[in-house]
Structure 1
Amino acid sequence: MTEVLGYKWFATQGGDFGSFITRSIAIQFPALVRAQHLNMFPVPPPTLWSAPMAYLRWCLSGVLYSDFEREAIRVRRNFEIDQSGYLEQQRTRPQTLGFALGDSPTGLLAWFVEKFHDWGHVHEAFDPETTITLVVMHWIQGATPGLRFYREAFGSRREAEKTFETYVSCPTGVSMYAKEQLHKSIRSAASGL
């Protein structure tokens, strides 16, 4: 941004894995990133030790949280219980999964469409041609490279998670969409209030 494009400063935006990248850029270049916008903010629930007031509010969420905040908790719990298996597979066994998905274009298509169905409004956002194009892009290069970065980012060094454990001083905006899986911009929990 600065060396090639010549900007003196810039703002960043990221969702899904891009939220970790966006945070990482802000951590590494605090003088250059003036603001960041995220549409995934995967912070864990507050603890009594990390944010006592947010923790008490979280414990009483049935009474103190808005309908939107309670729905955000429900969506996140559903993701953690029912939809995060892919993350563990990609984090722990990317090679095996990559070979399996790389062996069958139908299997790779099913892998993608399942995620699209749970995470987006498939019929509105992904017409058949777009879906096939996205799958072919992964099929041509082989499925494994797209899976390996989960092991590298979420493995023993926890590089990705550390970006949300690090304070970032630039202004931060967070958007939450209906099918975003890691809802957690419940302001008090995210800010530690």
Structure 2
Amino acid sequence: MKNIVKIAIISVAACLVVAGCSKKEPPKTEPTPEAAPVAEAPAAPAEPAVNADSLAAEQARLEAERLEAERARLEALINQIMSEDVYFDFDRFELTEKAKELLAQVGELLIKEKRFTITIEGHTDARGTEDYNFTLGAKRAMKVKEFLTAYGIEGERMESVSYGKEAPKAQGETEEAYSQNRRANFRVNIKQ
């Protein structure tokens, strides 16, 4: 029995030693929630940095495009006016109905584009003397100028000149060539 008591004492001692050496676990508690990071207000999108040089370059490019478009428009109008000739009957300076229709179109273009000035050139065919043809060419140019003045074009925007038979449009001594040379045509200038 002595042995049983010894074994019981040793067992109790061993239990106490094991219980004393073991770590105590901390009491279990509910974890406290960590504070969530405060969301910052989203930053406004950054404006792209505008370089003064690139802005000036873009403005210069746009201005160049505008000027080129204006130049092309004016060139088209000038070509339209200069491509039209006013034709006259033999030895006459009166305007035909067809000539009046054409001059009305020229007048409209000149009204729309105030910067245009024109030179009206009077021509004749090769028949007749130099003096006679020079006078006839001048009368043809003046008749065109009178019509355009009556249409509303200021006289200071027009000048007239006669070339007589000196600047033919068509070469030859046929009625077809003569009819193309009995004309008034236009040169257009742009006043600044």
Which TM bucket (shorter chain)? Answer: under 0.3
Greater RCO, 1 or 2 (C-alpha within 8 Å, sep 6+): 1
User: Given the two structures, how large is their TM-score scaled by the length of structure 2?
Assistant: 0.25
Which of the pair is proportionally richer in helix? 1
Which of the pair is proportionally richer in strand? 2
Larger Rg computed on CA atoms:
2
User: Given the two structures, how large is their TM-score scaled by the length of structure 1?
Assistant: 0.25
